[in-house]
Amino acid sequence: MPNSSSISEFLLLALADTRPLQLLHFWLLLGIYLAALLGNGLISTAVACDHCLHTPMDFFLLNLALLDLGCISTTLPKAMANALWDTRDISYAGC
């Protein structure tokens, strides 16, 4: 008989075990997330709106800013939700 067990979720290590430290981590991650959104948003707006910034270097800078927006928008909201709601699991599909 083959093994038919499957994994439905993973358990993550908690950043802190006490509630005040979890809330502190939430606020710190929120600050980092908002700073990254603001900085990358300003870079992409400046490159898109100013016609002097259409050199190849600025094109790659825009691509890097958009890539950073995509990467930080997938990991930090999950970490903030885990810190705020005191959960430690992530689904197999979400991983």
Sign of CA dihedral 27, 33, 35, 41: negative
What are the tens digits of pLDDT across the range 45-88? 999 999 999 899 999 999 999 999 999 998 899 888 888 887 87
The answer to whether 66 touches 44, Cβ cutoff 8 Å, is yes
23/35 Cα distance (integer angstroms): 18
pLDDT at 19 over 90: no
State the pLDDT at residue 75: 85
State the pLDDT at residue 92: 75
Domain ranges in the chain?
Answer: 4-86
State the pLDDT at residue 63: 95
pLDDT at 4 over 80: no
- Model-level pTM? 0.79
